[in-house]
Amino acid sequence: MSGAALQVRRAQPRDAAAVEALYRELVPGDPNIRVAPEHLAALEHDPHDQLLVAELDGVVCGSAFLTLCRDPMYGFQPYAVIENVIVLASRRACGVGSALLSALEANARAARCTKLMLLSSASRSEAHAFFARAGFDGERKRGFVKYLNRA
């Protein structure tokens, strides 16, 4: 895709429908997915939670969410958690995911985070290979999830 214009930025209220469509691709069939413009407005300037979108030629085609968590073990120096990394299937291998992860890492470094963590569904082996290429170690720790307050 030479010449394609790729931009990563904070999500804005006008991105709600595009982000919701991305989440529906990430978790097909989940009836609980709802992305409201007012929620994106609240996140737009939040110092601890960052929803980023990637636009390729003006079309939102990727998204990722970063949360900064204060760590009392290290004097409240934060660590960061990445969630809901998704790139439209038709836009994978175009640098979109790499641009998103680079922006998240830059934001985490700027916040002096000690580490970046993420979870990925066990069945997403292509995503796991992508995360490993981006420098994430999937061998040293194991993630656990307990879902709460879901219909």
Q: For residue range 106-147, what is the model confidence (pLDDT) as tens digits?
A: 999 999 999 999 988 888 888 888 888 998 888 888 888 887
The answer to whether residue 105 is domain-embedded is yes
Whole-prediction pTM:
0.89
How confident is the model at residue 81, as a pLDDT? Answer: 96
Percent of the chain with pLDDT over 90: 62
Question: How would you class 84 by CB atoms within 10 Å of its CB: exposed for 0-12, middle for 13-18, buried for 19 or more?
Answer: middle
CATH code, domain with 17? 3.40.630.30
The answer as to whether 99 is a domain residue is: yes
Q: Would you say 89 and 25 are in contact if contact means Cβ atoms under 8 Å apart?
A: yes
For 58-81, b where at least 16 C-beta lie within 10 A, e where not — what string?
Answer: eebbbbbbbbbeeeeeeeeebbbb
Distance from C-alpha of 100 to C-alpha of 8, rounded to nearest angstrom: 6
DSSP state of 149: S
Residue ranges for the chain with pLDDT beneath 50: 1
Q: What is the pLDDT of residue 63?
A: 97
Residue 45 in any domain: the answer is: yes
36 occurs within a structural domain: yes
Residue 36 φ/ψ, nearest 5 degrees: -100, 140
Residue 39 lies in a domain: yes
Q: Which domain holds residue 12?
A: 6-133
Say if 145 falls within a structural domain. no
pLDDT for the residue numbered 110? 95
Question: How many domains, the chain?
Answer: 1
